[in-house]
Structure 1
């Protein structure tokens, strides 16, 4: 795990329960250029709860994504899930250098990390002097099990990519949000509190970001696969056929009223529940805007229904909107997938730092 970044282009790789997503970004002045991208499906069960269960299936999908994208670099960044990582801000003497900080973390590992240090991959980053004590510094510590890092880097290597770093999904999302926030109106500092709802195949995650940092998160096991299953069951299709029909249309006339509408109702209720729990937890900052991400977040009518129920402005995330795009990429296809590319985009954006 490394916080250091490169000045050259990087590939962000996002491995989820339903797809492998790849995007290559390169610095272009003050912004980026999208050099290549690809999205490839994963068979059901290949990845469960963000952990690889079938390495062969993941490597095959990632290899196909690389073949489709034809990236200009092989240097890639991948992420462990937020639930698999321990993130803490430590207060240490300002006099400590990097080697001394590393030694201190090792000596005090039992205070910060809930599993044996021999099984740990960790990294840290200085955040500057402590706001209250001038002789102390804040240090961000991130740790996870070594097996989680090894599994992800092995997948990259087997697909012909070179692991540049292993990040954490939350950090990648925060990085990508620096682009998404340009879709929102300029807000005063005390109103800069935004809900980001990332709706994937099996799970939706409700984040609250204040000043670009995640201050609250809640996961709910409900996503686009439930809609695919309902389509499959109701219309007698295979799972693959149902997935294609959901994306491309062509379903019977009763689809919107009998299948899509109940699904959207349930999804909106769950987002509303997450919003209520945020306030119940004693959070005082009022959320004024909502951003939808993930492939399921683009379902027709969802943003409008959430806006009616919540009274907020609701937009669909496009972290690539302000970026230049390599001429060999179909922009319409890219932007159709952009909402689901949030994590991959944030990983590739490490090149800017």
Structure 2
């Protein structure tokens, strides 16, 4: 959203626990998977979406690019968290050029940072249904310090960041390209990562509510570690139902159920807050993605608590994937972890 280019690029999703890379090819109106991969990050490299160890992050990205034999140097990546502000605002009707000229002044009223400290972008949604003299606009502000930190890491790797997006919009991009939206349908897209969840609620394909929740799958692992005295690797295995010494399945299931209940409560809070601030609007369906979406019990827990249909979204299921090059079972298992990366890999010039 903040930088653009018309060249081919790779999508690089930097999370708190791993870096994920996706390269796609578009042919005859359909996306095809060229390559993808993931490398885990050491603890504390990314904390609250901020880069704490740029050298370790650069090493991870460089190693992933080399292992996948990527030749493309242009990158689309994304940011999220406290340093990113997304607001749906109303402004008098004006052209895009007029808003471009006045956006800094308009933004001052809506963001809690100094305008000089942020990169700004916007997307005009169109005239308001109730008052055609005003228009609805999505305003995005990202702190320059954070954006510059990400740019510096890619430059250190010999890569060029040409698109800087926001996680929830990359998620929306992947979903829209793969499934599309029904007229007037209100859906929630929730990316459930290791340390955070990105919530994006859309009506007829337009974002009407976003929220980043700073809890994620690590909560489940932390509880297993704390209560059963396991290390991080064994707690991850136990969470996914593998046999681990010192962790009987009944205890693990009880801990996972308790922790996923807490995650479900956070999702419900987001949906309740949206309903409270949007007259007569209710979410009709929830799509979950990200690594945590496949944790046993998460989907069922959300359906029970929310009382609406919940589906796991795997972007690879809906694009061209050569079964001779990629193991279908592996694609099925890891696909939801790459949704943001897929959305980034779909980005092109002029995207909003």
Settle same-fold status: TM greater than 0.5: yes
**Which residue of 198, 202, 218 corresponds with 2:195?**
202
Which residue of structure 2 lines up, in the alignment, with residue 63 of structure 1?
62
Contact residue 208 and residue 214 of structure 1 kept, 8 A: yes
1:290–1:348 Cα change, 3 Å: same
| Counterpart Cα distance in 1 of 2:240 and 2:316 | 21
Which residue of structure 1 lines up, in the alignment, with residue 23 of structure 2?
24
Structure 1 residue 256 displacement after superposition: 4.2
| Counterpart Cα distance in 1 of 2:213 and 2:102 | 37
TM-score normalised over the length of structure 2? 0.83
Which residue of structure 1 lines up, in the alignment, with residue 265 of structure 2?
269
Structure 1 residue 106 displacement after superposition: 5.4
Which residue of structure 2 lines up, in the alignment, with residue 227 of structure 1?
220
Structure 1 residue 287 displacement after superposition: 1.9
Residues 113-128 of structure 1 mapped to structure 2, 5 A cutoff: 114-123=112-121
| Counterpart Cα distance in 2 of 1:257 and 1:139 | 45
Which residue of structure 1 lines up, in the alignment, with residue 142 of structure 2?
144
> Deviation string for 1:157-193 (max 9, x for gaps)?
22332212211223212211204535xxx85x34x11
Residues 147-296 of structure 1 mapped to structure 2, 5 A cutoff: 147-181=145-179, 187=182, 189-190=183-184, 192-247=185-240, 249-251=242-244, 252-296=248-292
SS of residue paired to 2:318: coil
| Counterpart Cα distance in 2 of 1:126 and 1:3 | 18
| Counterpart Cα distance in 2 of 1:147 and 1:236 | 39
- Where do 5+ consecutive residues of structure 1 fail to align? none
| Counterpart Cα distance in 1 of 2:142 and 2:72 | 27
Which residue of structure 2 lines up, in the alignment, with residue 33 of structure 1?
32
Stretch of structure 1 that moved more, 311-320 or 123-132: 123-132
Contact residue 130 and residue 138 of structure 1 kept, 8 A: yes
| Counterpart Cα distance in 2 of 1:256 and 1:10 | 42
- Where do 5+ consecutive residues of structure 2 fail to align? none
1:133–1:72 Cα change, 3 Å: same
Which residue of structure 2 lines up, in the alignment, with residue 312 of structure 1?
308
Structure 1 residue 322 displacement after superposition: 1.6
Structure 1 residue 332 displacement after superposition: 2.6
Stretch of structure 1 that moved more, 45-54 or 332-341: 332-341
Supply the RMSD in Å over aligned alpha carbons: 3.2
| Counterpart Cα distance in 2 of 1:54 and 1:272 | 34
| Counterpart Cα distance in 2 of 1:255 and 1:220 | 27
Contact residue 9 and residue 24 of structure 1 kept, 8 A: no
Structure 1 residue 19 displacement after superposition: 1.4
1:212–1:126 Cα change, 3 Å: closer
Contact residue 25 and residue 348 of structure 1 kept, 8 A: yes
Which residue of structure 2 lines up, in the alignment, with residue 333 of structure 1?
330
SS of residue paired to 1:250: coil
TM-score normalised over the length of structure 1? 0.82
**Which residue of 320, 323, 327 corresponds with 2:319?**
323
1:105–1:280 Cα change, 3 Å: closer
Structure 1 residue 195 displacement after superposition: 2.1
Structure 1 residue 76 displacement after superposition: 0.6
* Number of positions where the alignment pairs a residue of Structure 1 with one of Structure 2: 343
Contact residue 170 and residue 214 of structure 1 kept, 8 A: no
| Counterpart Cα distance in 1 of 2:279 and 2:126 | 27
